[in-house]
Amino acid sequence: MSVNIPYGRQNITDEDIQAVVDVLQSDYLTQGPEIFKFEKAFADYVGSKYAVAVANGTAALHLCTLALGVKEGDKVITTPITFAASANCVRYCGGEVVFADIDPDTYLLDINKLMTLLASAPKGTYQGIIPVDFAGRANDLEAFRVLADEYDLWIIEDACHAPGGYFTDSKIVNQNCGNGNFADLAIFSFHPVKHIAAGEGGMITTNDKALYDKLLTLRTHGITKDSSQFKNDLDLAIGSTQYSTPNTQYPLWYMEMQALGYNYRLTDFQAALGLSQLNRADAGLVRRKEIAKTYFEEFQGKSFIKGQSGVVEGHAYHLYVIEVEDRLGLYNFLRSKNIFAQIHYIPCHLMPYYKQYGWNEGDMPFAEKYYSQCLSLPMYPTLADSELGFVIDTILSFYEI
């Protein structure tokens, strides 16, 4: 087989292309009506009250830490097995990142490690937690919320891998990733390797009206056009005292920059693409689950398999991870057959940037062991059965099975 098989790939249909063309021929290029439609549809999809579309997932994380008021001296806990942005958003606001190790079975932030960490310092030492629904597996945010309430912490759920994922709570209710029932804020990415591709793009979901209002202004320079929020008086707004009467309204051009925000807007044509892709999200999820089940069944019990994502209820399967012996050998062998598996992730605490803050090898034994043998296999809805079979056969042949 000569075609390249990557670990993830977007799928752009004729409807997607038409949706983008329609916007290009309309009056709006940057934020317009498609943004609002996409936000509404996305909020409905995950079951949150509010959604705010932004330029990318990293901008979403940054706006979350800004809206929550992260500042120098704040300490925020996250997992080392994530994309660097999950941690970096704390640094953008001058806060300190504290890593806690993963559970070797779920690959998620281990709540027991978190508990130990929180209990070992006076209350008030930590301000927040950023659990990541790594690979698409949902965190048990109900349990995280109990701890967060006890220690007065906020929660940002990094759900970039998990649109459509869920966990089942103690009342046997399925809780969608990003539904805002337990986390203060959740974020998603529309990078092409993620479930919903918009070129670049991100979304923040929340059930908190005050945070929602803050996010809307922070996404566009901290500027508000809502006259009920204005702080300056009418004379200043009008630029003259000569018109001022009790009936005078703020002039229509008037706006106020009230906080230091950014330009983190999404364009309207990206929103149209995201919306069109969102319509196929459930079908994509069904295929991802099929692929996961096939991998699991083919590899279960094989001696070279040290761990795998497995078949897990509510898993959104952004990635399918296997842990193997001779990972480097397998990786290179797959590449020689045009199968481009990937590693997720090099532990964040071992990045030179974080090592300068004192993190080092040995600090996160489970994350480091996981890193030594993990490999993300091709996982995307358009992966054909023949390609899937080829990937599996190639892996089996490497181990001479």
Ligand X SMILES: *Cc1c(COP(=O)(O)O)cnc(C)c1O
The catalytic residue positions are 194
Task: Tell me how far apart the terminal alpha carbons of the chain are, to the nearest angstrom.
Answer: 20
Instruction: Give the residue, chosen from 7, 45, 83, 126, that forms a contact with ligand X under the rule CB under 6 A.
Output: 83
What does the alpha-carbon distance between residue 288 and residue 401 come to, in Å, rounded to a whole number? 25
What does the per-residue mask of binding to ligand X show for 117-156, with x meaning CB under 6 A?
Answer: ---------------x------------------------
What does the alpha-carbon distance between residue 328 and residue 104 come to, in Å, rounded to a whole number? 20
Instruction: Give the residue, chosen from 8, 57, 136, 163, that forms a contact with ligand X under the rule CB under 6 A.
Output: 57
- Coil/strand/helix, residue 185: strand
Nearest residue (CB) to ligand X, 160 versus 272: 160
Note whether 86 binds ligand X by CB under 6 A.
yes
Note whether 164 binds ligand X by CB under 6 A.
no
What's the min distance (Å) between Cβ of 64 and ligand X?
11
Output the six-digit token pair for 2: 């000569």
- Coil/strand/helix, residue 253: coil
Instruction: Give the residue, chosen from 141, 160, 203, 271, that forms a contact with ligand X under the rule CB under 6 A.
Output: 160
Residues of span 173-212 touching ligand X by CB under 6 A? 189, 191, 202
- In the sheet where 374-377 sits, what is the strand order? 305-308, 320-324, 374-377
What's the min distance (Å) between Cβ of 338 and ligand X?
24
| 164 closest CA partner among 319, 39, 271, 285 | 285
Q: Which stretch binds ligand X (CB under 6 A): 56-64, 287-295, 356-364, 373-381?
A: 56-64
Burial of 86 (0-12, 13-18, 19+ CB in 10 A): buried
What does the alpha-carbon distance between residue 134 and residue 285 come to, in Å, rounded to a whole number? 16
Instruction: Give the residue, chosen from 63, 76, 85, 185, that forms a contact with ligand X under the rule CB under 6 A.
Output: 85
Note whether 158 binds ligand X by CB under 6 A.
yes
Residue with tokens 């934020």: 31
Q: Which stretch binds ligand X (CB under 6 A): 7-15, 51-59, 72-80, 166-174?
A: 51-59
Please list the residues that pair with 206 across neighbouring strands. Answer: 50
What's the min distance (Å) between Cβ of 111 and ligand X?
18
Residues of this chain that bind ligand X (CB under 6 A): 56-58, 82-83, 85-86, 132, 158, 160-161, 189, 191, 202
